[in-house]
Chain A
Amino acid sequence: MTGEAPLSAFWLEFRRNRVALAALGVVATVLLVALLAPLIAPQDPYDLSRLRLTDARRPPGFIGSGGYVHWLGTDAQGRDLLSAILYGLRISIQMGLIAGAIAFTIGATLGAFAAFRGGWVEALIMRVVDLQLSFPAILLALVLAALLGQGKWQLIAALVAAQYAYFARTAHGAASAERAKDYVEAALSTPLPTPRVVMRHILPNCLPPLIVVATVQVANSIALEATLSFLGLGLPVSEPSLGMLIANGFQFMLSGRYWISIYPGLALIILIVAINLVGDQIRDQLNPRLRR
């Protein structure tokens, strides 16, 4: 890497892995499509006045009473499935990003604080974090979603609680390593307040490993949210994420109407796999052990 422009050097190296580049393209496209859903979706799937029950559960390619082709078929309410998926993607991505951002903030602050404070505070915080990491995230989120009840913010709280520990562990490791370095010693010997040193000098240097965790965790929270919504413990019916679309289609699966469940699932998987591939490449590029 050249010293002058680390970002553009990073990008040059990223570009060389074609799979990761394609995955990044997929992520960008999905984000764009989800953002523009109201403009590009053939139908507003939640405008009840537009739905016709005679159009319900039609296979892909069916031409409905609206006069246009339902490329992916329709669901039990006669909703165009493609439109429902585009709107569902919006909700799923939104949940993943919000939960990921909050977990990032809480976890990174807690980890850096623990590394800096030391003593019994560090021991207590990291003990709780380790204990939580040994529990499966799905179980934790499941329990919390059940305890907190249904709702968008309750679900986000459950996702954050299940995921902040990964950020805290990573930030703690990175901050502990940074702490021992001379520049931190120098910064601390100035009259600057300690929180400022942590925020301005230490955290930025801990960012690379945290970014890797963040990509993986956003993908994980999207999957986790879908799983909880599928189990009926996720979002309320007014916020139909991809998980809920899949759950709604499940009952029609046994009668062979596969498309109501399968296509939302495919959209979910394409998104998650693409994010994970991008994350893998960033991890490899930031891993000093793989550098020659």
Chain B
Amino acid sequence: MPGYALQRLAQAIIVMMVISVMVFAGVHAVGNPIDVLISPDATQAIREQAIRAYGLDQPLWRQYLDFLGRLARGDFGRSFLYNMPVLDLIASRLPATLELTLAAVIGATALGVPLGIYAGYRPSSILSRAIMAASILGFSVPTFWIGLVLIFVFAVNLGWLPAGGRGATVSVLGVEWSFLTLDGLRHLLLPALNLSLFKFAMMVRLARAGTRELMLTDTIKFARAAGESEWTILSRHVLRLIAIPIVTVFGLEFGSTLAFAVVTETIFSWPGVGKLIIDSISSLDRPVMVAYLMLVALLFIVINLLVDLAYAALDPRLRAQHA
């Protein structure tokens, strides 16, 4: 087992290195950031000074080695556009994205699991069919279009909720949070709803499939024979038994929800990391792009590593193979 863990860790590090080279080389292929940074009618002297200041005069491999060296020291460079350390910039935007993502994933689970259990418990009722139809729509309809419709209906037409922005925030331990103020909650509702639809559809399907299978098992027959009420059976036995795959997916999907937040944040002008990366792509803010991509890659590699190790620990066949 320790050997297997070490082997996977080494693989993860190699993958991370390969990604860092690809990201770095790719980002440098996009375009010359100096054209964006200074006005076209700046003098040649100013231009050269700026190129030197940002290290753009060095050969690519040299820039890459410098970049690796800085990474090792936890320094991702300075944003060209905001003129502040990239790590600070991302850290300042992260709470907004985390708050949005968590609200979406928790909301999707809290609503999707009970509805899915119901759809699995009474598969042929009209309500179950409606729930399943909604989940097909949640899978098929592009997130960004749903976002537009939500803005049009609730912000423009009805005027109940704001169309964008984060609203008032409260500072807790030096971090700004929206969900602690009423105004912030009002701003959070639409984007969170938008982001949660896909996860909601998935939770419904998972819970329904699990419940349908479970209802046919001996566990449920014995529980019924013991005279337990249907409510007890569903809330005690079914919920507990379908919880394992749901928790797994919950963890895995958290990462992909962070990625999807790019779209939602752009539509609702939510000042999170996703909006930051879209803005930095359009303005060729290289250090921000590189740092964001590296952090996301790291996040996914760590999640994958943990999943692999957890499976290895849980599956005796894998354990024997690497003993």
Contact = CB atoms under 8 A, between A and B. Distances in A.
B281 A233 contact: yes
Interface stretch (B60-68, B133-141, B175-183, B206-214): B133-141
A265 B140 contact: no
B142 A272 contact: yes
A134 B255 CA distance: 10
A83 interface: no
A246 B267 CA distance: 12
Task: Give the residue among A230, A254, A269 with the most B Cβ atoms within 10 A.
Answer: A230
A149 B263 contact: no
Interface string A213-257: 000000100010011001111000000000000100010011110
Interface string B93-108: 0000000000000000
Interface stretch (A38-46, A138-146, A201-209): A138-146
A276 B136 contact: yes
Task: Give the residue among A146, A269, A272 with the most B Cβ atoms within 10 A.
Answer: A146
Interface stretch (B39-47, B143-151, B188-196): B143-151
A231 B263 contact: yes
Given A253-B151, A273-B136, A147 B29 contact: yes
A272 B144 CA distance: 14
Interface residues of A, number: 36
Contacts of A265: 142, 145, 148-149
Contact of B142 (A136, A227, A232): A227
A230 B263 CA distance: 9
Given A227-B143, A231-B266, A269-B141, A139 B259 contact: yes
Interface string B118-135: 000000000000000000
B263 A227 contact: yes
A159 to B, nearest CB: 14
Contacts of A223: 140, 142
Nearest to A273: B140
A253 B153 CA distance: 10
Given A147-B30, A254-B163, A256-B156, A268 B300 contact: no
A163 interface: no
Given A269-B140, A273-B136, A276-B140, A139 B145 contact: no
Nearest to B280: A146
A230 B145 CA distance: 9
Given A149-B30, A262-B149, A265-B145, A219 B140 contact: yes
A131 B304 contact: yes
Task: Give the residue among A138, A143, A258 with the most B Cβ atoms within 10 A.
Answer: A143
A29 B28 CA distance: 45
Contacts of B304: 131, 134
A246 B281 contact: no
A219 B256 CA distance: 20
A226 B244 CA distance: 35
B262 interface: yes
B142 A256 contact: no
B293 A138 contact: no
A142 B292 CA distance: 13
Nearest to B30: A147
A256 B137 contact: no
A139 B262 contact: yes
Contact of B156 (A253, A268, A273): A253
A138 B259 CA distance: 8
A254 B156 CA distance: 6
Interface in A106-153: 127, 131, 134-136, 138-139, 142-143, 146-147, 149
16 contacts: A136-B256, A139-B262, A149-B30, A149-B31, A231-B278, A246-B148, A253-B148, A254-B151, A258-B152, A262-B149, A265-B145, A268-B145, A272-B140, A272-B142, A273-B140, A277-B136
Interface of B: 11, 15, 26-27, 29-31, 136-137, 139-145, 148-149, 151-152, 155-157, 163, 255-256, 259-260, 262-263, 266-267, 278, 281-282, 289, 293, 296, 300, 303-304
Interface of A: 127, 131, 134-136, 138-139, 142-143, 146-147, 149, 219, 223, 226-227, 230-233, 246, 250, 253-256, 258, 261-262, 265, 268-269, 272-273, 276-277
